[in-house]
Amino acid sequence: MVSIKDIAQACGVSTATVSKALNNRDDVNPATRERVRETAKALGYLPNAMARALKTNKTYNIGVLMVDKADSGLKHHYFASILDSFKVVMERSGYDLTFISNQIGNQTCSYYEHCMYRNVDGVLAACVDFASPEVQSLLGSELPVVSVDYVSDGKYAVASDNEAGMRDAVLYALRRGHKRLALIYGEPSQVTEIRKKVFFETLAAHQQEFQCDAEFTDPVSLQEMGYVVEGKYLHPELAYQLTQAMLADPQEADRKLPTCIIYPDDICAVAGMAAIQDAGLTPGQEVSVIGYDGHPVLRMLGPHLTTIRQDTEQIGIKAAELMLKMLRKEDIPPTERVRSCSGRLLEGDTVADLNKK
């Protein structure tokens, strides 16, 4: 293995000069610094991570917490895409990523203890139960932590604009003549509560404008009629069952079926379309469907899914930028501790225009 001594001999300088040049110190002649760095590269020199950690008190290692209730982890397209862009930016700055869990070998530990064991410089909490005491303990620790889609007072976070996303989905359906909207939402979380709240608020705010019946905009009535029900993120089987229940033969003759169903994610939306088809109805015509996430592969299926695309690339980039500022101990004003990323509605073929009928 190439050492600093080998580089010093090749350049005809002292080992101290090589060390300063490799650490980009200002007290080395620029020409010498460049010559040392080029020689180190040519010889294939790699710095020793342990030695660098002792010298700088940094490991250049970032912990990643991706442990959700559904155990989807890297199979979750949304979070996997965020992690990919986060990884690119962090690696450009010399950082490696390590996954954090509550297990070290055969021994159970807390997330914080695992972070201490791995000696990480910071943590990205991207897919986790934020209500967990373990996670709250980590957020309250001295470690720099950036959370994704979870905002709390004084903490650092990057979030998709779920308010705008749900509002766009509801208004799109209303503008296309849909007056009976249904919502299947995910399990309890901050994101879920935001989406539910905006769903009800948007219907109520535009009730007169789109001449919707009061019962189809009232939260209590919608839930009692089975128009708003709890599902699970990335759980197609449950989404299929809930859609079946919504479309079952009504017990009362005057009960009206929803004309458009909004799902918690695109995988659930595709399962919902299968349930609609199995009920003898045509997805996108007799019952419309809106997904969430903007999964590129699922949108290729026919009919093309109308969905809310979340900008995962920007979320990952902004999370990395925020993390780097924290690691450099830069001053971050309170107004910049939480960063929002806008998505956009992608029109497909699954929302019928009832105004033309």
> pLDDT digits over 160-209, tens only?
999 999 999 999 999 999 999 999 999 999 999 999 999 999 999 999 99
Q: What is the mean pLDDT of residues 7-14?
A: 92
Least confident of 68-72, 305-309, 333-337, 345-349: 68-72
Q: How far apart are CA 9 and CA 109, in angstroms?
A: 47
Is the pLDDT at 250 greater than 60, yes or no?
Answer: no
Residue 54 lies in a domain: no
Q: Which pLDDT score, from 0 to 100, does residue 338 have?
A: 95
* Same domain, yes or no: 170 and 276: yes
pLDDT at 21 over 90: no
Q: Using the predicted structure, report yes or no on whether residue 120 has a pLDDT greater than 60.
A: yes
The pLDDT of residue 29 is above 70: yes
In a domain, 101, yes or no: yes
55 has pLDDT over 70? no
In the chain, the number of structural domains is 3
According to the model, what pLDDT value does residue 48 have? 60
Mean pLDDT across 284-306:
91
Indicate whether 263 and 351 sit together in one domain: yes
Considering only residues 58 and 282, tell me which one the structure prediction assigns the higher pLDDT: 282
Same domain, 182 and 166: yes
Asked if 264 and 222 sit in the same domain, the reply is: yes
Is the domain of 351 the same as that of 337?
A: no
Distances (CA, A) of 42 to 8, 270, 333: 13, 53, 43
- Do 350 and 228 share a structural domain? yes
Residue 321 lies in a domain: yes
Question: 214 with 274, same domain?
Answer: yes
Q: Where are the beta strands (DSSP E) in the chain?
A: 61-67, 96-99, 103-104, 107-108, 122-128, 145-148, 156-160, 181-185, 228-230, 260-262, 288-293, 306-309, 338-341, 344-346
Same domain, 95 and 116: yes
Q: How confident is the model at residue 98 (pLDDT cuts 50, 70, 90)?
A: very high
Task: Please say whether the beta carbons of 132 and 102 come within 8 A.
Answer: no
Domain CATH for 86: 3.40.50.2300
| Tokens matching residue 105 | 């070998």
Residue 72's domain comprises 61-160+313-341
Task: Check residue 84 and give its pLDDT.
Answer: 95
Tell me the average pLDDT across 78-95: 93
Do 322 and 304 have their domain in common? Answer: no
Separation CA 114–CA 7 (nearest Å): 37
Average pLDDT over residues 273-298: 94
The alpha helices in 73-110, defined as continuous H runs, are 77-92
Domain-embedded: residue 207: yes
Sign, Cα dihedral of 102, 107, 113, 115: negative
User: Does residue 286 share a domain with residue 174?
Assistant: yes
Question: Considering the domain boundaries, does residue 325 fall inside one?
Answer: yes
Note whether 76 and 116 are same-domain residues.
Answer: yes
53 domain-assigned: no
Task: State whether residue 57 is helix, strand or coil.
Answer: coil
Q: What's the CATH code of the domain at 23?
A: 1.10.260.40
Asked, for residue 177, whether it belongs to a domain, the answer is yes
Q: How confident is the model at residue 75 (pLDDT cuts 50, 70, 90)?
A: low
Same-domain status, 13 and 30? yes
Is 55 contained in some domain?
A: no
Q: What are phi and psi of 103, to 5 degrees?
A: -140, 130
pLDDT over threshold 80, residue 49: no
